[in-house]
Amino acid sequence: MKKMNAETGEFIQPVILENYDDFRKYAMQAAIVTYNPEYYRGPFMDDRKRIKRVTLAAIGVRLRDIPLSFKLVIDYSDLCDLSKPWEEQASEVDRAISKIIADLESDCPLVRGHIDRKTSLGEALSIRS
């Protein structure tokens, strides 16, 4: 009887991207794409929620038979126009981020939420060294 080698799981940190076009390319190849929106906080409960930041993650992208994750954070500071009043900026940022989410939803398996693997203290220390 032949013995099989046990696979050891290795945690690979997500690759942080700075460009949406690069992220979109990897999202099309991903097993799943997640998005986690953050909203402006208004003083009233009935205020309309507006997205100010979204964290996107393309999970399970196989490159050279290694499954990788890619992460992109789109923030209001990336999209705002300081020449316009705050109310108009907030609405435009909300529309732009909502459009990005809608485009991704039509082209790849998109899920709201996030998948974070908490690393143990030993793993965190070994990653830093």
Lookup: tokens for 51: 């997205």
pLDDT digits (tens, 9 = 90+) for 86-101: 778 888 888 999 999 9
Give the predicted TM-score (pTM) of the model: 0.77
pLDDT of residue 103: 94
Domain residue limits, the chain:
15-114
Evaluate if residue 125 carries a pLDDT over 60.
no
Which residues pair with residue 55 across a beta bridge? 36, 73
pLDDT digits (tens, 9 = 90+) for 9-57: 566 788 999 999 999 999 999 999 999 999 887 776 666 788 889 999 9
Q: What are the residues whose beta carbons fall under 8 Å from the beta carbon of 54, sequence distance 6 or more?
A: 35, 36, 37, 38, 73, 74, 97, 100, 101
Lookup: tokens for 28: 């099309």
CATH code reported for the domain at 15-114: 3.30.720.90
Between 87 and 110, residue with greater pLDDT: 110
